[in-house]
Chains A and B, each alone.
Chain A
Amino acid sequence: MTKFKVSQHILVPKHIKLSEKDKKELLEEYHISLKELPKINKKDPAIQQLDIKKGDVIKIIRKSPSAGEAVFYRVVV
């Protein structure tokens, strides 16, 4: 089978790594620590092309039937 880029597949939503500044702002906005965020595995295929380490926050932009576009955040574990 030919190799393809997972991140470019039509069913894979956009994954973006948050900068340290954005990450801080996010945590402040929701008054939370990383513990309260949903998790994403470090080996998740969708984020392999990003330069990530444990504790990074990934912003995921999905298509949503109710809202058009929905933003979601996950912490890398």
Chain B
Amino acid sequence: MAEKEKEKIEEEKEETKEEEIEIESYEQAIFKKVKSILFGVFSPKMIQKMAAAKIVTPELYDKEGYPVDGGLMDARLGVIDPGLRCRTCGSKLKECLGHFGYIELARPVIHIKFVDTILKLLRCTCRECGRVLIPKNKIEEVSAALEQIEEERSLEEKRKEIKQLSAVLRAISKCPYCKAKQYPILLEKPTTFIENEKRLSPIEIRTRLEKIPDDELKLFGLNPATVRPEWMVLTVMPIPPVTMRPSITLESGERSEDDLTHKLGDIVRINQRLFENINAGAPEIIIEDLWDLLQYHVTTYFDNTVAQLPPARHRSGQPLKTLTERIKSKEGRIRHNLAGKRTNFSARSVISPDPMLDIDEVGVPIEIAMKLTVPEKVTEWNMEYLKRFIEKGSDKYPGANYIIRPDGKRKKITDETKEAFLEELKPGYVVERHLIDGDVALFNRQPSLHRMSMMAHRVRVLSGKTLRLNPAVCHPYNADFDGDEMNLHIPQTEEARAEAEILMQVRTQLISPGFGLSVIGCTMDSISGNYLLTKELEFSRQEAIDLLYSIGVDDFSKLPKKKVVNGKEIFSVLLPEDFSYKGKSKNGEEVVIKKGQLIKGVIDKASLGSESGLMLRELHKRYGPEKAIELLKKLFKLGIKVLLKIGFTTSVADTDLPTEIKDEIKQILDEAEQAVDKLIESYNNKTLETFPGKTLLETLELKIVEVLNRARNEAGKIVAENADKNTPTMIMADSGARGNLLNLAQMAASVGQQALRGKRIERGYKNRTLSHFKKNDLGPEARGFIRDGFKAGLNPAEFFFQAITGRDGLMDTALRTPKSGYLYRRLANAMQDLKVEYDGTVRDATGKIIQFKYGEDGIDVSKSEAGEINVARIIGGKS
């Protein structure tokens, strides 16, 4: 049956049962510490001893639909139907873990997982007497050496040594004890052993393995107390309990069996046939065939992905999932169920920006808020408050989805039940109410590379379907809005909430432990806005008050009582009265703030930006995270509101240049092309002087690239000098909001040389890049120099070269991201338990010293300003 259907049915079952689930009290649990784990192989005796039933028939159910005694679904193997009791232990479903059964195989078969060990043992021991092919006097010596290796190096090394040893033993052709001649043994995969071109039957193999003495097994790393090699050839086989392979009843009433049950059915059936044929004295050839078939079924039961065997399939053609497939690979028990971490009370959705949200808020769609719940304990004091949620029910917001009785029973709130629950509600009950504004939530974006990738936000329930966040926190999450999704988790206990609020609140994460500056700051428009405001804008006092009021300021006493106030004065209203700061703006001009007044300079990325805002860092240091985030919130909004007020947009006209300038640029490029032509000429008549260690051609390439780059830079410089400083494009570049001069030069003047693997483009056709160039043309335009700017437009060849480097860049990022991600993971895993001790040393978990002083200078970067510690201020209390 299709896996999906099964899951669906199981899920439905879960849901109906959910209400009945009891939370067991912890007092019943017994805690014990695991001292060691012993691995071994079951002996046939053990298999029989631990079995609750002997399985003899492949039939599953009789005509009435009851399990057949001695069948694969024998009632003694456990219960899978609710209401029934186990015939072995008498427990109900979920209490009884199930019990093993066994079948007796008509002929022994090889266990596929032990083929390598069996082969090794057969090759290294005598075919007659079973002793290891090492002379008596040397055995002691060898085993002592092995022991020593294990002690001094590792078990791994010992295994390697054993491997080498067995390679030597293979070559011995005469037993040192009974002098019997030894033959090489070959393995015909998967399970056939060949000696002397004659096939060894599992029976023969088993007899040989039986002969190996206990004390010589240690040489192969086997402990005879838990492993006897002959147990690796199966004579009886354990049948796993039915609880491990439950059957499922379909809607049609039909039973659908687990893959393992199917496989076991095959084994039992063939086994029965083999028994019958042997007893009836059938010809050896028929018995051999059945035996091989039994071997096939047993092998695929253990592992259905053996390379040499066709996998056993369903009637639908899809391969069966047998034991090995259940365990291994990403979807297996280990990685999927044991190591896989999944959690309830979480949500995931596309994110979108909302600058009107606070920085430490997260916008949650109402639909999500009605699924995610917070458990609140009922007390005398909040009873009425919680009853209001129950009254609303589970499909009106804000309502509640479940109540939990003091005995741990969870009950769903429905229209039918809610009246009763309202009556019943008493202190001690728990109400799982919908998410409301102000609840604590953990917000996370993968890859979670640093601690700022998961921060605690306050919930704001909003309409719409996306999770919303303030664009200022994009930076720590490394999020943008081109379809990124993020996860939301709701802490469920007081402890979890307290921990989240104290350790993970956005405000506690402002200063990066990586470089000591704020990871959250103004971005994009909020930088341009503040830049413009503090640079040149003026407003009437009324307008200024409107502006300030719209960002949440209601105290205007700091605003000068003038008709017209300038931007610096408006900006200063936000600053604390006693704040003084001296810094530099992005282009190196001085910024001076004295007693809460911006006196000189413009505010730009160097003051407010994330990972660069020094004024922000200073505010954080002087006034603490609380005040800093409050200020940041206002500064951010101020920038945006300023732009809204004055209107701000970028256009193609921003890249317009006066005709003289255009001519000047044209001339520079012309000259460069001529210079290149000259270089090529001198190359052709060999007058070009070679650089040491380079060939003539390499020298030419270097010189050409240099000339062309110089030309482009010069053109860029002219653009920068002559571009209108008041265009939005230049404002954005100057303030550090977005874009740089190179971008502008590429638009206005020339895109420049396209490089592929550090060279000019030289591939494509034979000796040329495109078919309409002359062969061996080394000129700029034939090798990917784009003379035009984006605004003027590219000619077809230029466009093609740009596409080449564009695609190369795309491929590069697509391939590099997973690689560097893995590299980072390995680094993080290797260093995860290093710790700075109180004496300043960095040590690992065992106390070994890794560094004598953290970072060699002992500075806690998160307490520094961009890596520097200002000792004078710490001592003197001022900057």
A31: chain B residues within 8 A (beta carbon): 839
* A58, B814: Cα distance in complex, Å: 46
Residue ID in chain A nearest B859 by CB atoms? A66
Inter-subunit contact B857/A36 (CB<8 Å): no
A36: chain B residues within 8 A (beta carbon): 843, 847-849
Asked if B853 is an interface residue, CB under 8 A from chain A, the answer is: yes
Inter-subunit contact B852/A66 (CB<8 Å): no
Asked if B855 is an interface residue, CB under 8 A from chain A, the answer is: yes
Residue ID in chain B nearest A64 by CB atoms? B856
Q: From residue 22 to 59 of chain A, which have CB atoms closer than 8 A to chain B? A: 29-32, 35-38
B845 → chain A closest CB, angstroms: 12
Q: Interface readout for B845-872 with A: 1 if CB under 8 Å, 0 if not?
A: 0011110110111110000000100000
* A35, B843: Cα distance in complex, Å: 12
B849: chain A residues within 8 A (beta carbon): 30, 32, 36-38
Inter-subunit contact B841/A67 (CB<8 Å): no
* A70, B842: Cα distance in complex, Å: 14
A11 → chain B closest CB, angstroms: 17
Q: Contact check: which of A32, A35, A67, A73 meets B856 at CB < 8 Å?
A: A67
Residue ID in chain B nearest A68 by CB atoms? B857
Residue ID in chain A nearest B867 by CB atoms? A66
Number of A residues with CB within 8 Å of any CB on chain B: 16
Inter-subunit contact B852/A67 (CB<8 Å): no
Q: Contact check: which of B841, B856, B859, B867 meets A30 at CB < 8 Å?
A: B841
Number of B residues with CB within 8 Å of any CB on chain A: 15
* A36, B849: Cα distance in complex, Å: 6
Inter-subunit contact B841/A66 (CB<8 Å): no
Inter-subunit contact A70/B856 (CB<8 Å): yes
B448 → chain A closest CB, angstroms: 27
Given A30-B841, A71-B852, A72-B852, check contact A64 B857 (CB 8 Å).
Answer: yes
Inter-subunit contact A66/B857 (CB<8 Å): yes
* A73, B852: Cα distance in complex, Å: 8
* A72, B857: Cα distance in complex, Å: 12
Residue ID in chain B nearest A31 by CB atoms? B839
A57 → chain B closest CB, angstroms: 12
B848: chain A residues within 8 A (beta carbon): 35-38
B153 → chain A closest CB, angstroms: 16
Residue ID in chain A nearest B857 by CB atoms? A67
* A37, B849: Cα distance in complex, Å: 6
A60 → chain B closest CB, angstroms: 10
* A66, B848: Cα distance in complex, Å: 23
* A1, B858: Cα distance in complex, Å: 42
Inter-subunit contact B847/A66 (CB<8 Å): no
* A32, B867: Cα distance in complex, Å: 30
B152 → chain A closest CB, angstroms: 14
Residue ID in chain A nearest B837 by CB atoms? A30
**Max count, chain A CB within 10 A of own CB: residue among B841, B843, B852:** B852
Inter-subunit contact B855/A30 (CB<8 Å): no
* A66, B849: Cα distance in complex, Å: 19
A61 → chain B closest CB, angstroms: 11
Inter-subunit contact B852/A32 (CB<8 Å): no
Inter-subunit contact A66/B855 (CB<8 Å): yes
* A67, B858: Cα distance in complex, Å: 8
Which 8 residue pairs of A and B lie closest in terms of their CB atoms, listed nearest first? A67-B857, A70-B856, A64-B856, A67-B856, A66-B857, A36-B848, A66-B856, A36-B849
B→A interface (CB under 8 Å)? 839, 841, 843, 847-850, 852-853, 855-859, 867
Interface pairs (7), CB distance under 8 Å: A30-B849, A64-B857, A66-B856, A66-B859, A66-B867, A67-B855, A70-B853
Known contacts A32-B849, A67-B858, A70-B856; 19 additional CB pairs below 8 A are A30-B839, A30-B849, A32-B847, A36-B843, A36-B848, A36-B849, A37-B848, A37-B849, A38-B849, A38-B850, A64-B856, A66-B856, A66-B857, A67-B855, A67-B856, A70-B857, A71-B852, A71-B853, A72-B852
